[in-house]
Structure 1
Amino acid sequence: MLKIQEIRELIKLIDDSTINEFKYEQNGSKITMRKQVETVQGPAVREQYSPQQVSAPVVTEVTNTQPKAVNTVTEGSGQEGNISSSEVRGNVHTITSPMVGTFYAAPSPDSDPYVKLGDKVANDSIVCIVEAMKLMNEIEAEVKGEVVEILVENGQLVEYGQELFLVKPE
């Protein structure tokens, strides 16, 4: 079995190379490393930093596997298209996260939040940022109305499809 330092060195070598996937097997133990290719989603995405084509490798380790065991690394949730970026629930419009990332209520730590409870928003109003892989993705309200509830805290990790805001449409 590889030592942790050897695994770290392998990660660095894979990260610095043009290799997208690496598999290693020894005595029933498997290590699979795969780079995740960055994708840009929808028109609400704005790059504030220079984009990187490839991020650090994902490492999965399975020890003492049986012959029928399969080790896979998935690159997406497989749910794309099942949850829209916004849903209407009763008389309230729900703004959901279009990706996994970190929720930011303001453009910078010393700035005021994009929206507060009771604020009026338009279809194209930016309500927050979700940071994913060092890309700041501005999320738009997609509805005209009043913010009646903010469901997440600044700096909180959010999941794909997680509810962020409730807006009462006008």
Structure 2
Amino acid sequence: MDYKNIQELIKTVSDSQITCFEIETEGIRIKMEKKEDQVVVERIPASSTQIATATQDQLTRKNIEMQEVHATNIENDVSKNAAKTIPDENICIVKSPIVGTMYTSPSAESKNFVKVGSKVKVGDTLCILEAMKLMNEIESEVDGEILEVLVSNEDMVEYGQPLFKITKN
């Protein structure tokens, strides 16, 4: 089984609903397992003292209306803050094309390929991903500046995991 076949296999399993896959062929054994990220959204009241006061007060029509207005204001504030966190169109997120180990420099003694604030051009090496003893250079697809490095040296990365944020020029 050659490298391209393994890459295609990884992509196929990643794009499918399969959560666990194992194959043994030509003396090579490959096992892949997907673990879905769980997102927990929890609504926390603005202030617990407001809740205690509301339960102790007699519920009148005016009280209920005021609480509804307050709740609406909090929801509006939350939606405004959520709008600020939406990624800008000028930001490119470089994702891992394979599962492997990330290296930020060519050797332990060398400088990192890039760091926050580095200017990059299309084709510049951002990092190396090692998969099955093969070293794969990950190159920039845009001209820009490194905004954030999302993975540390020698960390294991998953297929599709964000590695870098680059602001486009």
TM-score interval for Structure 1 and Structure 2 normalised by the shorter chain? 0.5 to 0.7
For 1:125, the aligned partner's letter is D
Pairing 1:57–2:29 present: yes
Match of 2:129 in 1: 130
For 2:114, the aligned partner's letter is V
CA distance in 2, matches of 1:125, 1:89: 23
The alignment of Structure 1 onto Structure 2 pairs a total of residues equal to: 99
For 1:39, the aligned partner's letter is Y
Match of 1:97 in 2: 96
CA distance in 2, matches of 1:99, 1:158: 8
Cα RMSD (Å) of the superposition? 2.6
CA distance in 2, matches of 1:157, 1:55: 24
Match of 1:39 in 2: 3
Q: Which runs of 4+ in 1 moved over 4 A?
A: none
TM-score with structure 2 setting the length: 0.52
Percentage of pairs with the same residue: 44
Give the match's secondary structure for 2:167: strand
Q: Which runs of 5+ in 2 are unaligned?
A: 8-25, 35-86
Match of 1:113 in 2: 112
Larger Rg: 2
Equivalences for 1:145-164 in 2 at 5 Å?
Answer: 145-164=144-163
Give the match's secondary structure for 2:117: coil
CA distance in 1, matches of 2:129, 2:118: 20
Higher helix share: 2
Q: Which runs of 5+ in 1 are unaligned?
A: 1-36, 42-53, 59-72, 78-87
TM-score with structure 1 setting the length: 0.52
CA distance in 1, matches of 2:97, 2:137: 10
- Quote the offset at 1:55 in angstroms: 6.5
For 1:57, the aligned partner's letter is R
